[in-house]
Every structure is written in C-alpha cells, then in structure tokens.
C-alpha cells in the first residue's frame, strides 16, 4: 500500500524533480518564514511575493519563459519595491504597511498586464501559479543554490536576527549590526520568493514560507525549534501535496499549499503552545 502511494516518485522523473524542488524551497523558506513571523512581517512577505511579478513579467516579455531573465527581473523588482516602500514610509506620513500594500497592488496589476500583452492565458497561469511539475535542471540548481545561500547566511547572522526579534532596542544600544542584518534578511526574503516563484507562482510562493512557520509556533516557543519544525512541516507538506495532486488529479501548487494549510489548522487546534484544545483544558487553581 505504501509503495503504491509513493510509486509516482519512482516511476516519473518529473515527480522526482518536483520533490527535490519543494524540499529546497522548504529548506530555505522555512527559516525565513519563522523570522518573518517573529518580526511581525508576515504580510510583508505576501506583499513582496507580488512585488516580484512585474520584473519577472518583463523578463518573460523580453525572453519568454527564460529562467535567468525572469529570475533577474524578479530580484530587481523585489529590491526596488522594498526600497521604494521604505523610502515612502520615511519621508511621508504613510506607514510602511500601507506603503507596501500600495506597491503590492500596483505590482500585481502591472505584472498581469505585462504578461497579457504578449502571452496567453496559459502563460498567465504559469506566472501566477507556477509549474512545480515542470522544473528543469536549471531551476533545481537555482532552488538548491538559494536554499544553501539562505542557510549559510542565516547561520552567520543568526545572533543579530534573533536579538532583533526579541529586543531590537537592546541590539541597537550594544551593536550596529541591526540594520545590516535587517537588510540582509530582506534580501533573503526576496531571493526565496523568487525561487518559490519558479515552482509555485507569484500567488502561492509565500505559502510554503509562512504556513509552516505559523504552524510551528503552536508546537514550540523556542526559535531554533520553530525553525526545525517549520522546515519539517514544509518538506512533509511538499511531499504530501505532490502525492495528493498526482492521485487526486489536482493542480500541484495549490495542493501543496492546501496541505500546508491543513497542517496549520491541525496545529491551531491541538498544538501544545497555545492550541485551542490546550487553551480550553481545565486548569488547576493558580496554574499559569
């Protein structure tokens, strides 16, 4: 029974490629998602996922479905939107969340328009929802490189990132590493979203980053443990989502995100750190 369930990975090369791709996305996106959540920037990740769309669309307009062109375009667009949103928030009365929301809406509309100018509805669906079952060697190398760079960078900047989550005022008082660490972290966010875009599209790229992180919070309050749990949930969700899409004949990208969402909902109910059942259980007198 188990062998039959897992047979798609042994019988089809495209399923093995998709498996490697989603594992790489989970390895890089899981830790980044945890830090986004702890820094209360979860919606920032969603906004940035849409911000890369115009650049990726311009790359598509120039070179078609070219991985290098769409990757470079997405990176440039993401960095520009991040810088513009921060600049607007600093020189005007508009807060950063509102500024990001404005740029995200403009980016989404502009990207869809650019793709529509040259492409078909199939191309638009490819850009919006990705093609995780059509990953080639170049895409896998890109995803593996992003995951490796992310893990190495987070290992080197782990201490200032954690301090910035826990006590940013203290970090600024004892070190000047806060701002560089923040900028590096934003770069990692954009980089992982560009990688996720290749497989899951601009609308779903942030899903495998934030849903496992949110689920992990219900199982641990310790940052390192949350990172490990979020990464594990992302990998399991990717594997289960691919199998669900194959056996139930569902779109692969949405199936992966739905699986991660299912894990989040289960964690919300039964998680030991603030899950609904644990909050509702009877407590002894004076129990914390």
Q: How many domains is the chain partitioned into structurally?
A: 1
Average pLDDT of span 115-142: 74
**Mind listing the pLDDT tens digit for each residue in 166-177?**
777 666 677 766
Write the secondary structure of 178-233 as one string of H (helix), E (strand) and C (coil): HHHHHHHHHHHHHHHHHHHHHHHHHHHCCHHHHHHHHHHCCCCCCHHHHHHHHHHH
CB 160, CB 181: distance < 8 Å: yes
Confirm whether 288 is domain-assigned: no
Confirm whether 203 is domain-assigned: yes
pLDDT score of 242 = 93
Q: What pTM, to 2 d.p., does this model score?
A: 0.85
- The CATH number covering residue 147 comes to 1.10.3470.10
Confirm whether 286 is domain-assigned: no
CB 34, CB 213: distance < 8 Å: yes
pLDDT score of 274 = 85
Confirm whether 122 is domain-assigned: yes
For residue 34, give its domain range: 2-280
Q: Round to whole Å and give the CA distance between 6 and 65.
A: 31
Q: Round to whole Å and give the CA distance between 165 and 163.
A: 5
pLDDT score of 283 = 64
């Amino acid at each position: 029974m188990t062998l039959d369930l897992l047979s798609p990975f042994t019988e089809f090369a495209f399923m093995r490629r998709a498996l490697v791709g989603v594992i790489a996305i989970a390895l890089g996106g899981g830790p980044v998602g945890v830090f986004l959540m702890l820094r209360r920037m979860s919606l920032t990740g969603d906004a940035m996922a849409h911000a890369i769309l115009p650049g990726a669309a311009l790359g598509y307009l120039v070179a078609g479905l070219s991985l290098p062109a769409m990757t470079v375009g997405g990176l440039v667009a993401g960095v520009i939107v991040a810088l513009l949103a921060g600049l607007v928030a600093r020189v005007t009365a508009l807060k950063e969340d509102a500024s990001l929301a404005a740029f995200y809406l403009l980016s989404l509309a502009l990207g869809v328009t650019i793709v529509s100018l040259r492409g078909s509805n199939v191309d638009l669906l490819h850009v919006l929802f990705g093609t995780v079952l059509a990953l080639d060697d170049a895409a896998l190398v890109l995803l593996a490189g992003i995951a490796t760079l992310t893990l190495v960078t987070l290992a080197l900047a782990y201490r200032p990132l954690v301090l910035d989550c826990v006590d940013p005022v203290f970090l600024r008082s004892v070190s000047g590493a806060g701002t560089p660490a923040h900028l590096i972290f934003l770069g990692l966010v954009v980089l992982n979203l560009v990688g996720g875009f290749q497989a899951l599209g601009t609308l779903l790229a942030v899903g495998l980053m934030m849903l496992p992180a949110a689920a992990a919070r219900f199982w641990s309050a310790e940052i390192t443990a949350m990172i490990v749990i979020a990464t594990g949930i992302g990998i399991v969700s990717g594997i289960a989502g691919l199998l669900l899409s194959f056996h139930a004949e569902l779109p692969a990208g949405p199936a992966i995100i739905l699986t991660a969402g299912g894990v989040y909902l289960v964690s919300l109910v039964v998680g030991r750190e603030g899950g609904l059942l644990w909050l509702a259980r009877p407590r002894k007198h004076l129990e914390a």
